[in-house]
Amino acid sequence: MSTIVQVAKRAGVSIGTVSHVIRGTARVSQNLRNRVGAAIRELEYYPGSVARDVVKQTCMLGMVLPDITNPFFPEMMRGAEDRAYERGYLLVTANTDESIARERKVVSALRSRRVDGILLAASPGGDARHIRAAMENGISVVCVDRAAKGVETDAVLLDNVRGGQRCVQHLIRSGHRKIAIITGPLAVQSARERYQGYRDALQEAGIDIPRQFILGGDYRKESGYKLAKQLVKMRNRPSALFVSNGLMTTGVLEAFDELDIQCGRDITLATFGDLTVGKLLHSRLTTVVQPGYEIGSRAASILMDRIEGKLKGSYHTMRLSPTLMEGESTRSGRQKSDHTRNGHKPVSP
């Protein structure tokens, strides 16, 4: 398969000139346009390109997500899909199951189907060659939730450090000093940042973190279930638990139910990642609520602006702030006012 580098060499121009001709993002003389067009045709350089004069724009966007069973990602997908549809684009999605090998195949398939742009929640692994190749072939890429290592793109991310820090600070203000964490996989950017927020809050308060209070999960329900049972059996059991995502929290709740552990009475529970009340069989949880819909919507807008040449120049990273909502799981032993008795209450920064 030909590359943009080969096209540039055949036409005797720079890679940037080829990119401008393909995407119409700068004024290029007709002579250069003709040379680039001839090289594109000779080399059959069509996969993934959105050449206005060589290949028509497809008005298709790809969205590559790591785990479609995680409630956060469908919400993000819906935000992107709504914004795309408003502007005449269709969105196709694919799941990578946190596999960089699978991600490479998905991105390659999207290139072959000539999508105009890709929204990508990058898998851990640090190999960005497939992303760089897609961009060199004229496909715009915007990272969502996680930035891709080794390549510069636009990105719409969450302020995970601040969200985790605020949640643990709330636990500290509630009187807790023995606070454990179930982390996500620390190879994943969001998991590392939430763990950093946990550490920052405890260190700021002068609270030591026993090694056994740091439990390594994988963002899946099963790990939350297993680690919750491990935590309950600790001799020096923590009084509070911060869980790094909603799927693991579902597993924690199942384990607590089996062991007759009541949130708020026996252990205080807080989670990063909102779950619907219907899934919370015991109580409304204190939760760091992620603006998944807004992340998807904003990322799609940026992507389409790049495709259409409305956004040019250097790449930018946007970080959105999560919201901490206090639920019954961290209000044990305190009088509940009438206006908080029936639901969540926002907690001030």
Let me know: does 57 contact 116? Beta carbons within 8 Å: yes
Q: What is the pTM of this model?
A: 0.76
Which pLDDT value is given to residue 331? 54
Let me know: does 297 contact 82? Beta carbons within 8 Å: yes
pLDDT in tens, the chain (349 residues): 677 888 889 999 888 888 788 776 667 787 888 888 888 877 877 545 444 344 456 789 999 999 888 889 999 999 999 999 998 999 999 999 999 999 999 999 998 888 999 999 999 877 899 999 999 888 999 999 999 988 999 999 999 999 999 999 999 999 999 999 999 999 999 999 999 999 999 999 999 999 999 999 999 999 999 999 999 999 899 999 999 999 999 999 999 999 999 888 899 999 998 675 444 444 468 899 999 999 999 999 999 999 988 999 999 999 999 999 887 655 543 433 333 333 444 544 4
Which pLDDT value is given to residue 272? 95
Which pLDDT value is given to residue 66? 93
Which pLDDT value is given to residue 333? 38
Report all structural domains of the chain as residue ranges with CATH numbers, in order of start.
Answer: 4-43 (no CATH), 60-158+292-322 (3.40.50.2300), 160-291+324-346 (3.40.50.2300)
Which pLDDT value is given to residue 111? 87
